[in-house]
């Protein structure tokens, strides 16, 4: 399978376990790898035959605006489920970072893989 990449996508959401975090929006950074076969789109130069990274990025931003979670783990898991369902993605890798959460670190976060990645014969 080929992969569509969306790297360093910045979004804002309510996230955190502390009371003060529940009253503000914080920035998260996402990296996504989404499995798909790009050959049909490439053959016809047709956006409708591939994963539209602009539409996916907008959906991620909408998801962040509509939800709030205590844990980045919960955010990542729910977002992965949504993307797989709404965009028909069979496999994805999602890295979610929360900058500034630990003063001595640039960011903390999680990386998850969900679904089945099938390598195609070429």
Does 98 participate in catalysis according to the annotation?
yes
- Scan for tokens 């992969």, then name that residue: 3
* From 32, 72, 98, 109, active-site residue: 98
> Burial of 106 by CB count in 10 Å (0-12 exposed, 13-18 middle, 19+ buried)?
exposed
- 103 CB contacts (<8 Å, ≥6 apart)? none
Catalogue the active-site residues: 98
């Amino acid at each position: 399978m080929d992969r569509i990449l969306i790297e360093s996508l910045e979004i804002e959401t309510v996230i955190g376990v502390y009371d003060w975090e529940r009253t503000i929006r914080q920035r998260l950074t996402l990296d996504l790898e989404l499995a798909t076969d790009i050959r049909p789109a490439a053959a016809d130069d047709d956006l409708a035959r591939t994963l539209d990274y602009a539409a996916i990025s907008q959906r991620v931003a909408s998801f962040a605006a509509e939800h709030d979670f205590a844990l980045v783990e919960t955010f990542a898991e729910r977002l992965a489920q949504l993307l797989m369902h709404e965009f028909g993605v069979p496999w994805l890798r999602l890295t979610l970072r929360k900058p500034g959460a630990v003063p001595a670190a640039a960011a903390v976060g999680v990386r998850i893989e969900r679904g089945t990645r099938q390598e195609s014969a070429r």
